[in-house]
Amino acid sequence: MFFRFSAALILVVFVSMVGIGLEKQTLKMKRAVSGQYFQKDLLLEMHAHLRLKIQTLTAPSQLARIDHTASPQIIPHHPTIDSGTSGRGIPSPPVLPLLRWEHPAPSSD
């Protein structure tokens, strides 16, 4: 009689310990998933801020402000006969850099 009671008690304790272990593992995985969702939200927000910054920096009004102090890597140089003057010794306006967008990023709604 005592043997059956002990076996039943050990079986109940074993099942409860397995249940506790599974609950801990489930909670750990839920925490990891919620952390990933939080990280995804942060990255989407940063992506939106960077896209906005790109749009504001490459707006035509901003590009028109580029003066002769811009670096030569940004402004392509096309040598001509008069070497940058428009005939009367007046320097020509700076050439705006060309933006080549092949595939715009999909909007996340």
Three-state helix/strand/coil letters over the chain: CHHHHHHHHHHHHHHHHHHHHHHHHHHHHHHHHHHHHHHHHHHHHHHHHHHHHHHHHCCHHHHHCCCCCCCCCCCCCCCCCCCCECCCCCECCCCCCCCCCCCCCCCCC
pLDDT reported for residue 46: 93
Instruction: Decide if 75 is inside a domain.
Output: no
pTM attached to this predicted model = 0.46
Instruction: Decide if 70 is inside a domain.
Output: no
Instruction: Decide if 22 is inside a domain.
Output: yes
Instruction: Decide if 41 is inside a domain.
Output: yes
Domain range for 45: 2-58
Instruction: Decide if 27 is inside a domain.
Output: yes
Instruction: Decide if 42 is inside a domain.
Output: yes
> How many domains does the chain divide into?
1
Instruction: Decide if 35 is inside a domain.
Output: yes
| Average pLDDT per consecutive 10 residues, the chain (109 residues; last block may be shorter) | 93 97 96 93 93 84 60 51 53 56 55
Instruction: Decide if 82 is inside a domain.
Output: no
